[in-house]
């Protein structure tokens, strides 16, 4: 298996996409540490992974709390090296002003969402780098929606969040590359919520497992030469299509596991 012997931390694993990512990593041989603010959810996730023959440990960790993140990383690092850290934290559209014209958007919704999501992904990435630097190896993976490049109207803070995370990823990759730490970003139409755009070349929404497979590849040794990159998993999304611009959101409602 491509991740046999690898030790991977998944932050925000209590999110719908996070659970799929953790299960996919474990199926490919990684020992996974799943964490989130919902302790019951991550405990249940870890039990499911173990029932499927994988190795998983659960912890209650707020990815936006520096002390909790640092303590969790230190605890795991005390038992062995950390190979990869993934953060899939996202916010529901209603929490970021999705559907609200910018001139009607509460500035606090924009700045609050940016601080929450970008702040948490910065925190887990920076603290992961702190732990990985002595070993001079490791992989950090951030995740956000395609709104960072699509230019869709009425997306609230989604585009700002995604664009900021892509820029952060490139900067961190440049800073830590010479220390053997790779930093990459997965841009996807699949978020933690059930709403996804299906205006793409495939004519269907991508699945959580397809996103998880891309993350798994970035975590494996075969991707050792890849850093500072944005890997898009959207089915060939068309960006601001005519239908979206005219206000007809082509999206599907998913019943995720």
pLDDT the model gives residue 92: 62
% pLDDT > 90, the chain: 64
Q: Is residue 56 part of a domain?
A: yes
- Classify 5 as helix, strand or coil: coil
Range of the domain at 101: 7-253
Q: Is residue 1 part of a domain?
A: no
pLDDT the model gives residue 232: 94
Of the candidates 205, 98, 194, 189, the one whose C-alpha atom is nearest the C-alpha of residue 145 is: 189
Q: Is residue 2 part of a domain?
A: no
Q: pLDDT by residue (tens digit) across 24-57?
A: 999 999 999 999 999 999 999 999 999 999 999 9
Q: pLDDT by residue (tens digit) across 105-143?
A: 889 888 998 999 999 999 999 999 999 999 999 999 999
Number of domains within the chain: 1
Q: Is residue 168 part of a domain?
A: yes
Q: What is the dihedral of CA 168, 174, 178, 184, to 10 degrees?
A: 50
- Classify 28 as helix, strand or coil: coil
Give the CATH number for residue 191: 3.40.50.720
% pLDDT > 70, the chain: 87
Q: Is residue 118 part of a domain?
A: yes
Residue 23 has pLDDT above 80, yes or no: yes
Q: Is residue 53 part of a domain?
A: yes
Q: pLDDT by residue (tens digit) across 141-152?
A: 999 988 777 777
The torsion angles phi and psi of 195, rounded to 5 degrees, stand at -95, 125
Q: Is residue 235 part of a domain?
A: yes
pLDDT the model gives residue 255: 41
């Amino acid at each position: 298996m491509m991740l046999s012997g690898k030790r991977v931390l998944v932050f925000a694993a209590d999110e719908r996409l996070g659970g799929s990512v953790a299960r996919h990593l474990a199926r490919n041989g990684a020992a996974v540490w799943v964490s989130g603010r919902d302790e019951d959810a991550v405990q249940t996730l870890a039990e499911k992974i173990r029932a499927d023959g994988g190795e998983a440990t659960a912890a209650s960790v707020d990815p936006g709390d520096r002390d909790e993140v640092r303590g969790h990383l230190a605890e795991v690092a005390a038992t062995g090296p950390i190979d990869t850290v993934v953060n899939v934290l996202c916010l529901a559209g209603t929490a970021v002003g999705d559907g609200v014209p910018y001139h009607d958007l509460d500035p606090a919704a924009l700045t609050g969402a940016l601080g929450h999501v970008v702040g948490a992904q910065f925190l887990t990435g920076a603290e992961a780098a702190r732990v990985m630097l002595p070993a001079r190896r490791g992989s950090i993976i951030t995740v956000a929606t395609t709104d960072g490049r699509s230019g869709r109207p009425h997306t609230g803070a989604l585009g700002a969040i995604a664009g900021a995370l892509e820029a952060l990823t490139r900067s961190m990759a440049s800073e830590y590359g010479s220390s053997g730490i790779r930093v990459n970003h997965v841009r996807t139409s699949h978020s933690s919520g059930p709403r996804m755009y299906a205006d793409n070349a495939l004519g269907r929404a991508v699945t959580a497992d397809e996103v998880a497979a891309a993350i798994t590849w970035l975590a494996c040794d075969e991707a050792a030469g890849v850093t500072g990159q944005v890997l898009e998993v959207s089915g060939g999304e068309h960006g601001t299509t005519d239908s979206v611009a005219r206000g007809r959101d082509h999206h599907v409602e998913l019943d995720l596991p």
